[in-house]
């Protein structure tokens, strides 16, 4: 098991503000696990007993609406922390996290995190900043859903995925999302997402390589995202 004080992942999140002594204590109480593709890290309504640090892989964080549709709120990647909001509010999680590919995740118990939050102001401030950023992103999602067309949201999502994950050797966006996942990000039916993607393909804005998507015309996607 890797030690928190030697782990480079901590430099990517709030844990970088902990002292060596605090990191040694964290190492002694954390557990590591592999989460297989499609497996849930936690379920909506679950009471979280700690937070998760993503060492490798990507998961989708979603909420089920009353009509039974899954809305993907965010994609959480290597270096991110997960579950801190439920921990601090001491409420059951209102979100579900599912692995998009095989993941390595470290679990840090609630008692250890709350101890560090109460004793280390730099760590506390960093966690609060991350939560504020998450709230800002959630505000943007609400406004986009209300004011932008599905076509605009799809163009914007493709650009965000490109910026966040980059491209692989095949020149496709380096994240495997099903058509249903894409639909659940932009808040539409899977059939509508497939139809719009096919339309973008016909216009030579994107192309498909198997299930993966390659962006051919970023400028055109930018225009569509802005409503032109």
Give domain limits for the chain.
Answer: 4-145, 149-226
Considering the segment(s) 4-145 as one domain, its CATH architecture is Sandwich (2.60)
Which one is the CATH code of 149-226: 3.40.50.880, 1.10.10.10, 1.10.3720.10, 3.30.160.20? Answer: 1.10.10.10
Confidence of residue 1 (pLDDT cuts 50, 70, 90): low
188-203: pLDDT as tens digits = 999 999 999 999 999 9
Average pLDDT for the chain:
92
Rounded to whole angstroms, how far apart are CA atoms 196 and 151? 7
Positive/negative CA dihedral, 178, 184, 186, 188: positive
32-71: pLDDT as tens digits = 999 999 999 999 999 999 999 999 999 999 998 887 788 9
What's the rounded mean pLDDT across residues 96-100?
96
The reported pLDDT for the residue numbered 120 is 93
Rounded to whole angstroms, how far apart are CA atoms 117 and 119? 6
Rounded to whole angstroms, how far apart are CA atoms 68 and 18? 41
Burial class (CB in 10 A: 0-12, 13-18, 19+), 194: middle
Q: DSSP 3-state assignment of 215?
A: strand
**Is the pLDDT score of 130 beyond 80?**
yes
């Amino acid at each position: 098991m890797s030690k928190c004080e030697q782990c480079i992942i901590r430099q990517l999140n709030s844990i970088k503000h902990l002292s060596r002594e605090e990191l040694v204590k964290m190492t002694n109480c954390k557990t590591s696990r592999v989460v297989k593709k499609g497996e849930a890290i936690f379920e909506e309504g679950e009471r979280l007993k700690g937070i998760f640090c993503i060492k490798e892989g990507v998961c989708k964080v979603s909420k089920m609406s009353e009509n039974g549709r899954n809305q993907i709120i965010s994609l959480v990647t290597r270096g991110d922390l997960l579950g801190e909001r439920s921990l601090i509010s001491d409420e059951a999680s209102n979100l579900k996290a599912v692995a998009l590919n095989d993941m390595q995740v470290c679990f840090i118990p609630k008692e250890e995190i709350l101890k560090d939050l109460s004793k280390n102001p730099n760590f506390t401030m960093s966690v609060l900043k991350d939560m504020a950023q998450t709230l800002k992103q959630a505000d943007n999602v609400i406004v986009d859903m209300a004011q932008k067309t599905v076509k605009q949201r799809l163009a914007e999502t493709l650009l965000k995925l490109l910026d966040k994950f980059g491209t692989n050797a095949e020149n496709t966006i380096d994240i495997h999302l099903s058509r249903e996942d894409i639909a659940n990000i932009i808040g539409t039916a899977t059939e509508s997402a497939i139809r719009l993607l096919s339309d973008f393909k016909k216009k030579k804005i994107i192309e498909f390589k198997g299930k993966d998507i390659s962006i051919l015309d970023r400028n055109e996607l930018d225009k569509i995202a802005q409503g032109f």
